[in-house]
Amino acid sequence: MGVNLAAVDLGASSGRVMLAHVDAATGRLDLTEAHRFWNGAVRVGDTLHWDILALYRQMLVGLSKVSAVDGVGIDSWAVDYGLLDADGKLLGNPVHYRDARTNGVMERVLKSISADELYAATGLQQLPFNTIYQLAAEQRLGQAATLLMIPDLLGYWLTGQQGAEATNASTTQLYDVRARGWSESLAQRIGVPGGLLPEIREAGQVIGALLPAVAEETGLDPATPVIAVGSHDTASSVVAVPAEAGERFAYISSGTWSLVGLELDEPVLTAEAQAANFTNEGGVDGRIRFLRNVMGLWILQECLRVWGDEDLPGLLREAAAAPAFAVLIDPDDPSFLAPGNMPGRIEEYCARSGQDAPRSRAAVARCVLESLALAYRRTLRLAQDVAGREIDVVHVIGGGSQNELLCQLTADACGLPVLAGPVEASALGNVLVQARALGEPLPDLTAMRALVRATHELRSYQPQGKPADWDAAESRVFGTR
């Protein structure tokens, strides 16, 4: 029998509604795309926003295409939120995390709440767009009654039920990673009104049934449950890492951002972890995602946007033949964070670092991908050192797993085999959690991952080249360890 499920999976550059059939007893895990749509920043005046109503509309369009389903789950990017007034009405479009309103805010907050105190409570990587800093810059708190993260906001509009799913709450830097709940003291100290942060719910909990108006618009049964999944898309992606039981693996959830790290049973809150700027985010089933954000394919995506070049496969073939290590950048340099003329910013970085700028688009692509592979290498070596864990294999999941050049460069840089796939990892993790909530025999992450591994083809990349060349390249960009 099995169950039919809809996964609403929202990334920072596109969204999709996926239809899945899960029958764990017979080993079936089918996933098809019902609807895909664009997502991105919309500038109004001086502010970057998310067009949340367009996303909601596209979600409804997608749900209208899936026919009858047994459940719906929503995942999205982290840190951003919507504010509701006392009547449950949205106070304007959510602000995009790349907006400039948080410029300098982190430094201001850290004068009153020390970085040591923040890390001891939340275990989070310091990033200028973390929710805590967005709220410190927020002008509408006096009008707000409730804060909902993006998936929780969309779930509220489907069901009328408010709450905060734990994996996404854990990205806010207002969540106590050991107590597994909101840190009310941190919230108060940045001026967050009492009661703004809603009750925490866990992945697998039923949020509620569809509102009558939603059921009418989509054609779905009003009794269809909306189920909390790992609503941070990386949390859902990590559920779908096709690791074998007992395998010592690392993961790279590769897309607009790259989330690079390990899965642990407990947070690592040491001074070494803090100095290395690692984050301890909540995962499904109480796991910890011990990782760092690396800028990801955003840099190449922005280059393609500026060039108007849609022939990515051809560009990557040319990049594979381009000279190695000709130009290298630090992908996490702040100059690459905001939208804009990314090829021009790479030229400016080269001027600052004493390098000749890449002379062709293929050379730019080679520079970006080699530099990402170097950042992955550095991050995974630090993760092993700080967490006291060894890695035997790197799983690359998400859209970036289709980029053969990046996967091979990652294997070369890390000196480890890379297994690439599945592409739609976040949607798969989403539906697996839903399926378990609806009674499918998937008792733990091991069982879920075994089903992914049995039903999806993976590509294997073995390390090639000379490790000394990567040592020298890393030293050029990051200095010696």
Q: Please give the positions annotated as active site.
A: 233
How far is the CA of 116 from the CAs of 35, 79, 84, 325, in angstroms? 44, 21, 32, 37
Direct distance between the N- and C-terminal alpha carbons of the chain, in angstroms, rounded to an integer: 54
| φ, ψ (nearest 5 deg) of residue 287 | -75, 165
Question: Among all chains, which residue has been given the structure tokens 């294999």?
Answer: 393
Q: Which residues contact 130 (CB under 8 A, 6 or more apart)?
A: 79, 106, 124, 171, 172, 173
- Residue 92 tokens read as 């304007």
User: What b-and-e string marks burial along 308-333, b requiring 16 or more CB atoms within 10 Å of the CB?
Assistant: eeeeeeebbebbeebeebebbbbbbb
CA angle in degrees (0–180, nearest 5) for 55-61-63:
100
